[in-house]
Chain A
Amino acid sequence: MTDESTPAASTAEPATVQASGGEPHDAARLNAITKSFFGVPANDRVDFDLRWGEIHALLGENGAGKSTLCSVLAGLYHPDSGEIHLDGERVDLASPQQALEHGVGMVYQHFRLVDRFTVAENLALGHPETGFVTSRRSLERQVAELGRRYGLEVSPKAAIWQLSVGEQQRVEILKLLYRGVRILILDEPTAVLTPQEAQSLFATMRAMAADGQAIIFVSHKLDEVLEVSDRVTVLRDGERVGSVETAEADPATLARMMVGRDLATPDRTRATAGGAALSVRGLFADGDRGLEALRDVDLEVRESQIVGVAGVAGNGQRELAEVITGLRRSKRGQIFLGDVDITRASTLQRIKMGLGFVPEDRMRTGMAGGLPLASNLALKAYRQPPLSKGPVVSQKAVEERARSLEKQFDIRGVRWAMPTSLLSGGNIQRAILARELSAGPRVLVAAAPTRGLDVAAIDAIRQILLDERDAGTAILMISEDLEEILDLSDEIVVLYEGRIMGRLDPDEASPEVLGMLMAGRTVDATPETAKDTA
């Protein structure tokens, strides 16, 4: 494959170095990093270099080794072999604390903040200079100062649980800046953000780079990488494929480097929708904290139709899926499956009536992660023949059915008695779909169907959903991925704070309009939203 990161490229003086001027060394240089887990290399002799003042994107599919490489640099994993140089000095990072002492910090996908503490308290927590008695006021002043400098506006006095996900991410970045981090690793930071929040994050990243700091930006979204990075390194199957200057890169080349093949775009054919299969009328429900999570939601999904529910996580999507599938009680309103009112029906009754569900939490809700896949594939069908006769479940029938579903849905990597949680995300999601679709559902609720999956798996899952729609199933697809919503939906609704902010035809919707609605802004073009602002 191409390897454009020539010695010449790395010795060229980066134009952006200013504040750290005069530093002759790269911010970080990783030589031939190898890290294996039980004989399987997650990183295989990976070289990586990071210059001061640059935003360096790390691109690759799931399982390409991005997270492992970042974790090695952040001190979380110790490499089996290879060297790490930070600012020209060889180091051995035995713990994240040591990495922090060397100025390397990582923002993980799952935030590590104390919910009940304020922003300032979270920053003070674990900071070496935090004494037994600390001045709250000076702390808060410093936090505000840092925030202003990099566009990370967040109230230092706010408790974490009061903040949106985007704001919490800012706190994570602030925490690292406050610790004096100058090499910042962001692991898929935009996965949880609205387009507007992502833009604001990019502005922060640019401000930091202009300040001379070095940023590693992990992503599998091409557009973002092209938009924000100065350089891109692509990993595939644990190996470095190559590095390119972003200015000289184009999406097709990058995608090929990443996948090793050209991407297939899902067909945008529309099926002709039939009668109403799922109707939701005036639905209200509470969330986990007892706050109202759904407010007067009206929805209709017809046969052979995909209705996409767009929205930023935490705006009622999970509650909507749970109320429809019977895992959560509604307070008011009605749910119909065809003509039948299922508002008070049990989960089991709904399953038997042909309601399938692909939950967003695959490992604990969609699967019992510790059990073998064969058991998980039988999760719903175990009640009827041929899997069970009376009270007795036939282990043999369960295994046989699993074999045939694995073949039919191309589920790979299954070994006997292996816990399902050890399968890759793509295979787990294929398995959930295999189980739900093999029941021949009338209505399928699919929440975040491709989140966290690699490109090949995303393509496959989307194609399965489209085929299922064409076969007549009504699909309610809840997704935070706008492109997915735009590509697959026959109709789009936007959820914001438990309300439907707008209904759109995907052909007329742009990411900008959707993004505005998702962020709770009303858009003139959508008459539906008029009543909410009134």
Chain B
Amino acid sequence: MSLPLGAFELTVERQQIPSRLVRMAAPTASVAFGLLVGAVIIWASGQDPILAYTEMAKKGFGGRLALTGTLVLATPLILTGLAAVVAFRMKIWNIGAEGQLILGAVASSGLGLWLGDNGIGGPVGIVLMLGAGALAGALWAALAALPRAYLNTDEVISTLMLNFVALGIMNYLIFSSFSHWRDPGRATFPVGRFVDDSMFLHRFTGRLHIGLFIALAAAGALWWALRSTRWGFEVRVTGDSPRAALYSGMRVDRKILSVLMVSGAFAGLGGGIEVGGVLGNLDPRALSLGVGFAGIVVAALARLSPIGVIPVAILVASFTNAKPGLQVLGIPSEIVTLLEGILFLCIVGGEWFLRNALRLHRRVGPVEAAAS
């Protein structure tokens, strides 16, 4: 690869794996660089970058309400981030967390409503409801996982397409039918029926609910499972080299199935927690905001570390949380979206610079001949 620049030429050379220290420092440097680029753009658009950044920090983290709001937004992001982490670790590209989250919400709200109708509620109801969400997410993922494991179909296509199917199912249940999920009392604009109050997730201060701690526990559990179990060992080996996994007697097909189902379970649990902790019903408008896709970004920024997902999800959530507040101050919310994109590009770009070196040479041949 080379790029001619007058009498010079820019070429790319591959580097060997850099040291641990460099690898640790690189994302920090990338984020700093991204913030700098963002500052220039904010400044160029006529805003004060320092004001914008301080306001973003304030609206995202300053004070109890801002902070708990951010954490509540981060909760489903952590779970869809984990969904992406576990699948991507094995180089299984689950792009279907969105659909798995929706199906999780459908199952959770459905079971929650049924339990309420039959007089069951409280902690037992909550556990069953969230369990149904995780299970539904896992089964929805299995629809893509089975053909991937046994017929080697492309999971990118199947998981992606299943998102639209899931969205269609949810919209049908609320907008196009008088289903178990739809509130019959509201004829003007269709909404989902609310589950019994006893099944709302416990709230602490502000809007903060117990779901955050479930998500944190899930991150810890995934970290431990990947690091210290036979299953995690097999996932790591299969992800690095499926042939080496087969060679050492591992069942790669089952690993694909289990990994995709675990991935779906995380996303489905996220859907259940949104129903139980925030929405209280199946709300198509609140559940189709792209949390599943955002999870992929979170996982990538966290370099597929289950623990790293937590701070990244909180940071991304703080951006989202800060948007309306910034708008009030006259800073367009697009600035925040822009900044997210810039940060992502910088971090991904930083990775590339870890592995490749640019080199400027004097060009030889015709140019030099002409000069001499």
Q: Is A92 an interface residue (CB 8 A)?
A: yes
Q: Is B249 an interface residue (CB 8 A)?
A: yes
Q: Is A516 an interface residue (CB 8 A)?
A: no
For B245-260 the 0/1 string (1 means CB < 8 A from A) is 1111111000000000
Q: Is B303 an interface residue (CB 8 A)?
A: no
Of the candidates A77, A367, A375, A394, the one whose C-beta lies within 8 Å of that of B13 is A77
Assembled-state Cα–Cα distance A101/B13 (Å): 21
Taking a contact as CB atoms under 8 Å apart, the answer to whether B363 and A94 are in contact is: yes
Taking a contact as CB atoms under 8 Å apart, the answer to whether A347 and B363 are in contact is: no
10 pairs of A and B residues whose beta carbons are closest in the complex: A348-B249, A368-B240, A379-B248, A368-B241, A370-B240, A368-B244, A94-B361, A347-B249, A365-B243, A92-B364
Q: Is A496 an interface residue (CB 8 A)?
A: no
Q: Which of A368-406 contact B (CB under 8 A)?
A: 368-371, 375-376, 378-380, 382-383, 388, 391-395
Chain A residues within 8 Å of B17, by CB: 418-419, 422
Taking a contact as CB atoms under 8 Å apart, the answer to whether A368 and B249 are in contact is: no
Q: Is B233 an interface residue (CB 8 A)?
A: yes
For A75-86 the 0/1 string (1 means CB < 8 A from B) is 001100000000
Chain A residues within 8 Å of B362, by CB: 92
**Shortest distance between the CB of A475 and any CB in chain B (Å):** 18
Q: Is A204 an interface residue (CB 8 A)?
A: no
Closest to A382 in B: B233
Taking a contact as CB atoms under 8 Å apart, the answer to whether A375 and B237 are in contact is: yes
Chain A residues within 8 Å of B285, by CB: none
Q: Is A132 an interface residue (CB 8 A)?
A: no
Taking a contact as CB atoms under 8 Å apart, the answer to whether B244 and A391 are in contact is: no
Closest to B245 in A: A368
For A102-144 the 0/1 string (1 means CB < 8 A from B) is 0000000000000000000000000000000000000000000
> Which of B171-179, B191-199, B223-231, B340-348 participates in binding chain A?
B223-231
> Which of A227-235, A272-280, A301-309, A356-364 participates in binding chain B?
A356-364
**Shortest distance between the CB of A189 and any CB in chain B (Å):** 25
Of the candidates A375, A376, A391, A422, the one whose C-beta lies within 8 Å of that of B230 is A391
**Shortest distance between the CB of A320 and any CB in chain B (Å):** 15
Taking a contact as CB atoms under 8 Å apart, the answer to whether A78 and B359 are in contact is: yes
Taking a contact as CB atoms under 8 Å apart, the answer to whether B243 and A395 are in contact is: no
Taking a contact as CB atoms under 8 Å apart, the answer to whether A94 and B241 are in contact is: no
By secondary structure, the B interface counts as mixed
Assembled-state Cα–Cα distance A366/B243 (Å): 8
Assembled-state Cα–Cα distance A382/B231 (Å): 11
Q: Is A164 an interface residue (CB 8 A)?
A: no
Assembled-state Cα–Cα distance A454/B292 (Å): 51
Taking a contact as CB atoms under 8 Å apart, the answer to whether A94 and B2 are in contact is: yes
A371-B237, A419-B17 known; A380+B249 contact, CB < 8 A: yes
Q: Is B152 an interface residue (CB 8 A)?
A: no
A-B contact pairs, 14 of them (CB 8 A): A38-B16, A78-B13, A78-B361, A351-B248, A365-B241, A365-B243, A368-B236, A375-B236, A391-B229, A391-B230, A393-B232, A393-B233, A394-B228, A419-B17
Taking a contact as CB atoms under 8 Å apart, the answer to whether A351 and B249 are in contact is: yes
Of the candidates A95, A327, A352, A378, the one whose C-beta lies within 8 Å of that of B247 is A327
Q: Is A98 an interface residue (CB 8 A)?
A: yes
A98-B365, A101-B365, A347-B246 known; A417+B20 contact, CB < 8 A: yes
Taking a contact as CB atoms under 8 Å apart, the answer to whether A327 and B246 are in contact is: yes
Taking a contact as CB atoms under 8 Å apart, the answer to whether A422 and B248 are in contact is: no
Closest to B360 in A: A94
Closest to B9 in A: A94
Of B237, B247, B361, chain A has the most CB atoms within 10 Å of the CB of: B247
Q: Is A525 an interface residue (CB 8 A)?
A: no
Assembled-state Cα–Cα distance A366/B249 (Å): 12
Of B17, B230, B240, chain A has the most CB atoms within 10 Å of the CB of: B240
**Shortest distance between the CB of A345 and any CB in chain B (Å):** 11
Q: Which of A9-46 contact B (CB under 8 A)?
A: 37-38
Of the candidates A380, A392, A417, the one whose C-beta lies within 8 Å of that of B229 is A392
Q: Is B15 an interface residue (CB 8 A)?
A: yes
Taking a contact as CB atoms under 8 Å apart, the answer to whether B230 and A388 are in contact is: yes
Closest to B250 in A: A348
Chain B residues within 8 Å of A101, by CB: 365
Taking a contact as CB atoms under 8 Å apart, the answer to whether A367 and B244 are in contact is: yes
Taking a contact as CB atoms under 8 Å apart, the answer to whether A364 and B236 are in contact is: no
Taking a contact as CB atoms under 8 Å apart, the answer to whether A92 and B16 are in contact is: no
Assembled-state Cα–Cα distance A328/B31 (Å): 48
Taking a contact as CB atoms under 8 Å apart, the answer to whether A365 and B230 are in contact is: no
Q: Is A91 an interface residue (CB 8 A)?
A: yes
**Shortest distance between the CB of B303 and any CB in chain A (Å):** 14
Assembled-state Cα–Cα distance A366/B240 (Å): 12
Closest to B224 in A: A392
Supply 17 further A-B pairs (C-beta < 8 A) apart from A77-B13, A78-B359, A94-B364.
A95-B2, A348-B250, A348-B251, A361-B243, A368-B237, A368-B240, A368-B244, A370-B241, A375-B237, A379-B247, A379-B248, A380-B248, A392-B228, A392-B230, A395-B227, A417-B20, A419-B17
Q: Is A346 an interface residue (CB 8 A)?
A: yes
Chain A residues within 8 Å of B232, by CB: 393
Of B232, B241, B243, chain A has the most CB atoms within 10 Å of the CB of: B241
Assembled-state Cα–Cα distance A327/B252 (Å): 12
Taking a contact as CB atoms under 8 Å apart, the answer to whether B243 and A91 are in contact is: no
Q: Is B11 an interface residue (CB 8 A)?
A: yes
Chain B residues within 8 Å of A367, by CB: 241, 244
Taking a contact as CB atoms under 8 Å apart, the answer to whether A422 and B361 are in contact is: no
**Shortest distance between the CB of B5 and any CB in chain A (Å):** 12
**Shortest distance between the CB of A119 and any CB in chain B (Å):** 27
Assembled-state Cα–Cα distance A293/B250 (Å): 25
Taking a contact as CB atoms under 8 Å apart, the answer to whether B228 and A359 are in contact is: no
Taking a contact as CB atoms under 8 Å apart, the answer to whether A364 and B244 are in contact is: yes
Of the candidates A346, A361, A364, A395, the one whose C-beta lies within 8 Å of that of B249 is A346
Of the candidates B9, B227, B241, B251, the one whose C-beta lies within 8 Å of that of A369 is B241
Chain B residues within 8 Å of A379, by CB: 237, 244, 247-248
